[in-house]
Structure 1
Amino acid sequence: MAGERAHGRAAGLPAAGEPAIIGRDAEVERLARLVRVGAGVPRNGDLREAGVSRGGVLIVVGEPGAGKSTLLDDAARRAAHAGHHVLRATGRESERDLAFAGLHQLLRPVLDQADALPERQRRALLGAFGFEDAPDVQDVQDAPEPLLTGLAVLTLLSRLAGQAPVLLVVDDAHWIDPASAGVLSFVAWRLDDDPVTLLLAVRDDEPLAEFEHTFPAITLPPLDDAAARRLLGLRAPELPAGIRDRVLTEAAGNPLALLELAKAAQSRDPGDHDPGPLPVGERLAAGYAAQVAELPEACRRTLLLLAAAVVAAPPDAVLALLPDAGDNAWITLERAGLITRAGRWARFRHPLIRSAVYQSAPFDARSQAHRALADILGDEPDRRAWHLAAATPYPDAEVSAALERTADRARRRGGYAAAAKALARAAELSPVPGDGTRLLVEAAGLAVLTGRLAWVEELAERVRARTDDPAVLAAATLRVGRLTALSRRHNAVFAELIGIAGEPAVTDPATALGALVAAAVLRFYSGDESQRREIDRILPRLPADPLREWVRMVADPFGAGRRLVPRLPDMIIAARDHPERLTALAVAAWIMDETALAVRTFDEAVRSWRARGPIPDGMGGVAALAYFEYGRWAQAREVCADIGALAAGKLDHAAACVLAADAMVLAAQGDTAEARTLAERALRLVDPLESRSVAVNARRATAAAAAAEGDYESAYEQYRTLFDRDGDPVHYHASYPALPELAAAAARTGRHTEAAEIVERSARVLAEGGSARLRALVERSRALLAGPEQAERAFLAALAEPALEHRPFEQAQTRLEYAEWLRRRRRIAEARPHLAAAHDVFARLDARPWAERARAELRAAGTEVTVPDAAGLAELSPQQRQIVRLAARGLTNREIGERLFLSPRTVGSHLYRVFPKLGVTTRAQLRDVVDAGGVPRN
């Protein structure tokens, strides 16, 4: 904000010996250090030293006038002086509804390099800006590829960074359009290996949802008394002491308020003894309005047109409405300190000035300005439509239709927030009530894709206020329910879904089935048995449909759902062209313990996620659990990182799902501190009674961490919470797999009786409807708690179950526990093969506590095991492992980058760093590393 740029300067220059920015030494140094570190492609230690936790990203937060723009300007000046590429954009309130407007402003100086991008990326980027025609979109599955647009930006920045470090500066980021903010967030998560730094400034009362609680931020506090006095002394040295103290008091440390109040005090009539407060905050805006009111008519009209247009470089059409460059109006406005100019470029010195100009003008004058702008923007239909909307207070079919066309263009480019806003405004202006309601329902459907639950609820409420049509109300409620499933308040939404499913079950089966699908998801989260009964009450009234069978499997896997398992493969084949259905069927396969089928289906679905980039699905956290059970732990963590990055700060339940799953993997690998941290974060994000599935998984992770440290008392206490006082599971699906872990902790703490009762109670429930895998886990649990006569039979029954072949960790645990039982009975020769097999699996999975336990048993059995070098695949990050696997298959850096949404430079940087860790010097050797699952031997 230009007004902030005056902060700390006297006549444009600092006084001798004074810093350029008064009172912000620490902040100036932090930004300068970040730019320096970013230019050197920071490593983790450098980032910690710079006070940054993720890549080269920092958010500067503060109230208007706190000095955010001044700090960004200083950082940009330093970077430009050092030879960096500096790309800048400023959010504008009037452009929040124009998809990718902010991104275009940021990248406009370098768009000539887009031709060097891979063709799909080039088309995605230019299509987002409307430079290439977007395809017609008839179905959400055919929607544009937002992540591909993000990848194009990432690749473009990486190319620039190959020439010189890049600094991205986004001022007033709280006003950036959501589509641009989404791309910047995508890029920000992937800056670790490119010399690219991103600085954003936001107001403290308008957080940027895509970055909130995710990236490091500094909040600018008010200036302390000494700094405020120093600044005031530089800018208003002649101010009388009494007025000086009043200005200092009322400015409350805000640099802009300090300077503006000093300026106002200097110009006051000496005889004016008004005891009221000086203008500050809203009163400061009122002061600007009073200043504007005293200007000539031509100046007021010019300011109002600028306020309504608000573009950095007004096109010729807009300039035609404004005075000529040499007109006295410009001189008057500059002398008044209201605008700054550079040639044909003009902007308000502070957003408060624009606000004061616009809000103080009568509606008729604002309407006239917007209509004038609309009339000359015929070649920019989106801007024209919004100007017409701003000028139209009453329903108008023509303006409504123009906004609907704007929404369609935004939707084709992947600007879902802009499209939803345009449809919502079109609904307000539609003279036909039915059309207005339809537009609101469509707006709610697109708003779902933004992940902003409060907005979807607001749109649904507006639908309810317009109509009592059951079908329309049901459609609106379904949209809210879909997104609420990824957030909180599951029980309340479940009741609404059941309510709308009950009546239309006969008259509108499709609506009823859609409601029950969403209700089944909530039933899975909550584990509430009464919810299953509600679903069972309505489901038989619906006609046969694959979705009806899906509801049965998810809501009742040990009852009616179990009989449907043989149909799953055919259902999955039929859903190949529908990614959302694939995901749903993969979830069903996992719930039914068809793990291999679930993983194959998730593989296909995950490829689709990465190609299309839909919102994170809370059930998508199940993919991580499936990969975990299947022994693909690195992939499980990659899925957690992908979904977690999209859900962070917006969709609490979706984030909690992947946090809990990630915690389970880390606990099994022995990273106990981090596992506890993630589990605690997951529990803070949900209500444990409404999200029992998350609570159970988080507590399993905490218990496994305790067991890995040898604290079996704490482990048992945590495992015991997964079953209620009577021994029934807290969650109908998530609790049962913990039975062996409960039994193992009980055996080490002398709680055999209580644990055995829980195991046998579970065995009775699972005898008929349970999967073969769960019955094997029951046998393993019995073996751990049984006497010598029964234990071996139970161990052998568990090991004989083929279902464990698709769950290597569970099978290796069973082998190890049986081998320990054998060795204690001095049957060492029989124990050794089981110990060796178990150790190999644990080493491959990097399950360190279990591998160490297996090695100890092998040594006790007379077999020495060589511990692999630490510099192996196990030490790489999940992303690095994935890069190595793809490189081992012969993919180029560019091809790997397209798959993983990374820049080729980042891929190359990772490979450069991992080669020494893996003991290889060429890409050709990577295949041997991957095949061996560790370090190649000489």
Structure 2
Amino acid sequence: MDEHTGGRGAVMGPQPDPGELIVGRGAELARLSRAVDSVSADPVLMLVGDMGTGKSALLEHAMHRAEAGGARVLRAQGSESESSLAFSALHQLLRPVAAEVDALPDRQRAALQDAFGEGPATPGPDLMLVGVAVLSLLSGLGDHHPVLVVLDDTQWFDRASLDALSFAARRLEGEPVTLLIGARDGDRLPPGFDRHVPVLTLGPLDRAAAHQLLDLQPKSPTGHTRSRILDQAGGNPLALLELTRTASAQDTAAGLPSAGPLPLTDHLERIFAARLKTLPASTMRALLLLAAMDSADPAIAVSAGLPRAEDAAWLPAGQAGLVRQTGRDIRFRHPLVRSAVYHAASLSAQREAHLALAETLRAEPDRRAWHLAAACPHPDAAVSAELERTAGRARRRGGHAAAAQALQRAAELAPQREDSARLLIEAAAAAVFTGDITWVEELVAAARTRTDDATLLASAAVQAGRLAVLTVRHTRVFSRLADAAETLTASQPAAGLDLLAGAAVVRFYSGDDTQRHRIQDIQRRLPEHPSHASMRTWVTAVSDPFDNRPHLVSLLPRLAAEAQDRPERLTTLGIMAWLLDETPQAVRAFDEAFDRWEVQGALPEGLGGAVAWAYLERGRWEQAREACARTTAVGRAAGLDHAVACAATVDATLLAFQGDASSARTRAEDALTLIDPLESRSVAVYAHRALGAAAAAEGAYETAYGQLRLVFTADGAPVHYHASYPALADLTAAAVRCGRHEEAALIVERSASALADNASPRLRALISRARGLLADPQEAEAHFRAALADPVLEHWPLERAQTLLDLAEWLRRRRRITEARGPLTEALATFRRLGARPWIERARTEARAAGLDATDTPPDALAGLSPQQQQIIRLAARGLTNREIGETLFLSPRTISSHLYRSFPKLGITTRSQLRDLIENTHTTTGRQE
């Protein structure tokens, strides 16, 4: 065999015998071989096919090939019964590397221990840190050998495990790690792996391959029997083998299932069930226990009281082709065998099996609770309470899907309808954090059929609305939230206001002005109450921040006092302050909230993008990128495209400011593909602003103007009531460079008139800058001076530096070169400190024309790095280790090391110890970062 090497390490050696007969899958085998041999550029590959198409056999082949080449192989196999146990699949995967888990950094090790329920009681694991721990572990294993991770039957993986594994999977580029995923076709693809993951689909075998497979059987069928087998199997490899086995055992085709509409799965289950009739009672009991347990983890099998692999009870089952021995454990040959065994048993036998398992699993309270539930033919308050406790444990470990499943089953077993309704609403509250709005709505609908209690029904509506706000279905969601809020205005005003708060967030995302009027109408009809004041302020600030802005700003100090020591309130305060262009106060609130809020929520908060925007505006670009990374990771894991799109627009804008125009365009275009621009005007506006900034960075001002013009309507009105206005100065700057003065002037003056006395100091400064750019030369200075007059504008360093540069250019052209040097020097220092490379170049050119020394300084060395490399360099200069930097930026230590290795030559240094001096010299020259 040829020897191959690649970016993820080399796996080589002779072709292994996978232990399974694989026919007709040459192309698929070649694709898998390239993956494990590291020829493929894709570190993740998903194998999708119907039941019985051979996914597990192909994955087994890949595992043997990798092991023969010296790779470390980790495998987890999903099981239906454990899909409701949080982190069970991840625990199974990492059990063989427990020693390596213990060697992880303290925070990462503790996060995994929390997730597995092994550590001390905590409020819950940081789910992002769990993902970082998995990534670090896999990367560390790759230091010694290439690593192959095989995830089979992922349709039965618990959601918490999938979230952690998908988080790591998206960051495997450059790592010696390959991830192969097996999933059943027809089911929804595993969350987190359903976008941008290469998929290899297993279809039916063609007629020639089907004949070949039959020819290779010990008793190859012939004649009419072969024709019937081929017709009924439909190219499914498992069906071909099992139908042949049945025909051979009976020496006749009479016992084959008749042709007809019976599904293939039912055909196969009947075939397997027919083999059970002659088995001894001890074998049947062992099989039923194995089927009821449904765990691929041998450690659980032993504790559950199953006969050991060498027990004689298994021999008849093995001879019948129902089970196989793998190491020291017994497994069904196929999930259909498990299903056939389980459903062939009587209800009383199934119940007895589950009760027996529950008795032996007293040390495993969560598994025990589910077996007790499976044994319940009728409602049972005690078992319902056990499941509710299981849900509590799952929730503390961050297993929101597992908690929701346990609560849903607890509701089914609750004897009292009111208890059932309460549990369903709690299930909906947990399911919110999975991002699965259909499930949430089903749970809420079920709760409504079980109760007339107004408080519970209001709570149900709030839970459904909480997640709906984060989806992309803004028009539909707004109507539903507003209707529910209107219905509850009299009977449940607090719940009605909560729903209206969600509707206000949807109004922000959509930018639909008719929604503002509806919100105002409903809010007028809500009764006043002192405890509702903060929420009312939120509704107004989010839905219409520039209507009576001075009054809203005057309320912020009181809200800040009420929010002390309450991170969720501080976050809300920060968002409102950002909306009102009180960015310094917003950043202070976010800083304090994050210092106190060690465990981040499992979903992005409504308007969570405000955090990244505030840090970007304030000039704290590293933290803006970190906020984007967290929102992206959480949004992708929960399947919330809108949250991912929001983060992408901030990221794109920042990349454009740093001069990486190509990456900025990619991120902005990604955002636009995730949303409907008519449904999500805010995201569309942010994306076009980013695309305009990217074009301006390259000097393509006509293109920049075209993108920024889309931020306003044809008649010059803002497309979005908040997101459009900050683009006024950038639009004008592009307009004057491509001869669009008159059109830009109309837009600027229309916006100034619309804002009037409600314009923030920031917006007044941007309007003044725009007027200065558009004014006749003799009138421009007054406008530029007005844009710089208020000291508070220093809190928007990029915007202030841009205005300083405009003033300096105007002064130099008026031959007032001495006066120009002051603002020019200040502008250049700010651009260098921020790493705004396009603006550095423009300011440097102007500085040389003004007779200033514009020699490169250390910041320009940093400016030669990518934005991510700049972040890594700054964190390394602060003394953080590669692992600590990886935790901060959600990257593996290997990726951090690679970036540092590539960055050092560009910076002219050779050791890590030189970084501090480099950064300190940068700050000495240009001033400290905001």
TM over 0.5: yes
Match among 737, 740, 752 for residue 729 of structure 2 = 740
- The match for 2:201 is 219
Match among 551, 574, 584 for residue 596 of structure 1 = 584
Alpha-carbon offset, residue 716 of structure 1: 3.1
Match among 276, 282, 285 for residue 268 of structure 2 = 285
Alpha-carbon offset, residue 192 of structure 1: 4.5
In the alignment, is residue 679 of structure 1 matched against residue 668 of structure 2? yes
Match among 647, 654, 659 for residue 635 of structure 2 = 647
Alpha-carbon offset, residue 156 of structure 1: 4.3
Q: For the residues of structure 2 that align with 1:391 and 1:14, how far apart are their CA atoms?
A: 39
Q: For the residues of structure 1 that align with 2:832 and 2:31, how far apart are their CA atoms?
A: 42
- The match for 1:3 is none
Match among 87, 107, 118 for residue 100 of structure 1 = 87
Q: For the residues of structure 1 that align with 2:44 and 2:860, how far apart are their CA atoms?
A: 30
Q: For the residues of structure 2 that align with 1:386 and 1:121, how far apart are their CA atoms?
A: 30
Residue 871 of structure 1 contacts residue 917 of structure 1 at CA under 8 Å; is this kept in 2? Answer: no
Structure 1 residues 591 and 326: alpha-carbon distance in aligned structure 2, compared to 1, 3 A threshold: closer
Question: Counterpart amino acid of 2:238?
Answer: L
Q: For the residues of structure 2 that align with 1:929 and 1:231, how far apart are their CA atoms?
A: 67
- The match for 2:542 is 554
Alpha-carbon offset, residue 609 of structure 1: 6.7
Match among 481, 490, 494 for residue 478 of structure 2 = 494
In the alignment, is residue 310 of structure 1 matched against residue 286 of structure 2? no
Q: For the residues of structure 2 that align with 1:532 and 1:834, how far apart are their CA atoms?
A: 42
Q: For the residues of structure 2 that align with 1:310 and 1:282, how far apart are their CA atoms?
A: 18
What's the secondary structure of 2:378's corresponding residue?
coil
Q: For the residues of structure 1 that align with 2:361 and 2:85, how far apart are their CA atoms?
A: 14
Q: For the residues of structure 1 that align with 2:626 and 2:863, how far apart are their CA atoms?
A: 14
Further displaced range: 110-119 or 784-793: 110-119
Q: Please provide the CA RMSD for this pair.
A: 3.5
In the alignment, is residue 414 of structure 1 matched against residue 403 of structure 2? no
In the alignment, is residue 624 of structure 1 matched against residue 612 of structure 2? yes
Alpha-carbon offset, residue 697 of structure 1: 0.8
What's the secondary structure of 2:608's corresponding residue?
helix
Question: Counterpart amino acid of 1:595?
Answer: T
In the alignment, is residue 175 of structure 1 matched against residue 161 of structure 2? no
- The match for 2:745 is 756
Structure 1 residues 884 and 716: alpha-carbon distance in aligned structure 2, compared to 1, 3 A threshold: closer
What's the secondary structure of 1:644's corresponding residue?
helix
Q: For the residues of structure 2 that align with 1:934 and 1:656, how far apart are their CA atoms?
A: 34
What stretches of structure 2 of length at least 5 have no aligned partner? Answer: 1-15
Further displaced range: 575-584 or 274-283: 274-283
Question: Counterpart amino acid of 1:919?
Answer: G
Alpha-carbon offset, residue 571 of structure 1: 3.3
Further displaced range: 365-374 or 274-283: 274-283
Q: For the residues of structure 2 that align with 1:839 and 1:243, how far apart are their CA atoms?
A: 84
In the alignment, is residue 543 of structure 1 matched against residue 529 of structure 2? yes
Structure 1 residues 601 and 687: alpha-carbon distance in aligned structure 2, compared to 1, 3 A threshold: same
Structure 1 residues 897 and 413: alpha-carbon distance in aligned structure 2, compared to 1, 3 A threshold: same
Question: Counterpart amino acid of 1:801?
Answer: D
Match among 429, 447, 450 for residue 445 of structure 1 = 429
In the alignment, is residue 885 of structure 1 matched against residue 908 of structure 2? no
In the alignment, is residue 354 of structure 1 matched against residue 338 of structure 2? yes
Match among 818, 840, 864 for residue 807 of structure 2 = 818
TM-score computed with the length of structure 1 as normaliser: 0.87
C-alpha distance after superposition, 1:876-898 (max 9, x if no partner): 45544333323322334454455
Match among 25, 37, 40 for residue 50 of structure 1 = 40
Q: For the residues of structure 2 that align with 1:271 and 1:539, how far apart are their CA atoms?
A: 74
Q: For the residues of structure 1 that align with 2:271 and 2:506, how far apart are their CA atoms?
A: 52
Alpha-carbon offset, residue 390 of structure 1: 1.6
What's the secondary structure of 2:216's corresponding residue?
helix
- The match for 1:374 is 358
- The match for 2:11 is none
Q: For the residues of structure 1 that align with 2:73 and 2:53, how far apart are their CA atoms?
A: 23
In the alignment, is residue 71 of structure 1 matched against residue 55 of structure 2? no
Alpha-carbon offset, residue 339 of structure 1: 0.8
Residue 220 of structure 2 contacts residue 244 of structure 2 at CA under 8 Å; is this kept in 1? Answer: no
Alpha-carbon offset, residue 904 of structure 1: 5.2
Q: For the residues of structure 2 that align with 1:307 and 1:31, how far apart are their CA atoms?
A: 31
Question: Counterpart amino acid of 1:782?
Answer: R
Question: Counterpart amino acid of 2:372?
Answer: L
What's the secondary structure of 2:913's corresponding residue?
helix
Residue 525 of structure 1 contacts residue 692 of structure 1 at CA under 8 Å; is this kept in 2? Answer: yes
Structure 1 residues 368 and 753: alpha-carbon distance in aligned structure 2, compared to 1, 3 A threshold: same
Alpha-carbon offset, residue 698 of structure 1: 1.3
- The match for 1:802 is 791
Q: For the residues of structure 2 that align with 1:622 and 1:658, how far apart are their CA atoms?
A: 10
Structure 1 residues 224 and 633: alpha-carbon distance in aligned structure 2, compared to 1, 3 A threshold: farther
Q: For the residues of structure 1 that align with 2:305 and 2:878, how far apart are their CA atoms?
A: 59
Question: Counterpart amino acid of 2:544?
Answer: D
Q: For the residues of structure 2 that align with 1:820 and 1:226, how far apart are their CA atoms?
A: 77
Residue 505 of structure 1 contacts residue 542 of structure 1 at CA under 8 Å; is this kept in 2? Answer: no
Residue 740 of structure 1 contacts residue 778 of structure 1 at CA under 8 Å; is this kept in 2? Answer: yes
Question: Counterpart amino acid of 1:180?
Answer: S
Q: For the residues of structure 2 that align with 1:860 and 1:255, how far apart are their CA atoms?
A: 76
C-alpha distance after superposition, 1:71-109 (max 9, x if no partner): 322332233334443222111011001112112211222
Q: For the residues of structure 1 that align with 2:452 and 2:93, how far apart are their CA atoms?
A: 46
Residue 304 of structure 2 contacts residue 361 of structure 2 at CA under 8 Å; is this kept in 1? Answer: no
TM-score computed with the length of structure 2 as normaliser: 0.88
Q: For the residues of structure 1 that align with 2:196 and 2:689, how far apart are their CA atoms?
A: 26
C-alpha distance after superposition, 1:170-223 (max 9, x if no partner): 211221111222222233344446544333221222311122215444333444
Match among 568, 573, 578 for residue 580 of structure 1 = 568
Residue 565 of structure 2 contacts residue 596 of structure 2 at CA under 8 Å; is this kept in 1? Answer: no
Structure 1 residues 180 and 608: alpha-carbon distance in aligned structure 2, compared to 1, 3 A threshold: farther
Structure 1 residues 894 and 611: alpha-carbon distance in aligned structure 2, compared to 1, 3 A threshold: farther
Question: Counterpart amino acid of 1:640?
Answer: C
What's the secondary structure of 1:201's corresponding residue?
strand
Q: For the residues of structure 2 that align with 1:331 and 1:280, how far apart are their CA atoms?
A: 30
Structure 1 residues 193 and 678: alpha-carbon distance in aligned structure 2, compared to 1, 3 A threshold: closer
Residue identity (%) = 54
C-alpha distance after superposition, 1:343-367 (max 9, x if no partner): 7521110112222333444434433
Residue 304 of structure 2 contacts residue 360 of structure 2 at CA under 8 Å; is this kept in 1? Answer: no
Question: Counterpart amino acid of 2:605?
Answer: D
Alpha-carbon offset, residue 412 of structure 1: 2.2
Q: What pairs up with 1:177-256 in 2 under 5 angstroms?
A: 177-192=158-173, 194-206=175-187, 207-223=189-205, 227-235=209-217, 238-240=220-222, 247=229, 251-256=233-238
Structure 1 residues 191 and 711: alpha-carbon distance in aligned structure 2, compared to 1, 3 A threshold: closer
- The match for 1:41 is none
- The match for 2:708 is 719
- The match for 1:43 is none
Match among 757, 769, 776 for residue 768 of structure 1 = 757
Residue 444 of structure 2 contacts residue 464 of structure 2 at CA under 8 Å; is this kept in 1? Answer: yes
What's the secondary structure of 1:96's corresponding residue?
helix
Further displaced range: 649-658 or 504-513: 504-513
Question: Counterpart amino acid of 1:477?
Answer: A
Q: For the residues of structure 1 that align with 2:259 and 2:157, how far apart are their CA atoms?
A: 37
Alpha-carbon offset, residue 661 of structure 1: 1.9
Q: What pairs up with 1:115-154 in 2 under 5 angstroms?
A: 115-135=102-122, 142-154=123-135
Question: Counterpart amino acid of 2:268?
Answer: A
Q: For the residues of structure 2 that align with 1:146 and 1:554, how far apart are their CA atoms?
A: 29
Q: For the residues of structure 1 that align with 2:341 and 2:257, how far apart are their CA atoms?
A: 25
- The match for 2:778 is 789
C-alpha distance after superposition, 1:110-139 (max 9, x if no partner): 32454444455444433433334524xxxx
Residue 228 of structure 1 contacts residue 248 of structure 1 at CA under 8 Å; is this kept in 2? Answer: yes
Question: Counterpart amino acid of 1:373?
Answer: L
C-alpha distance after superposition, 1:559-617 (max 9, x if no partner): 24432324435634543533332222221121111222222333344566774353223
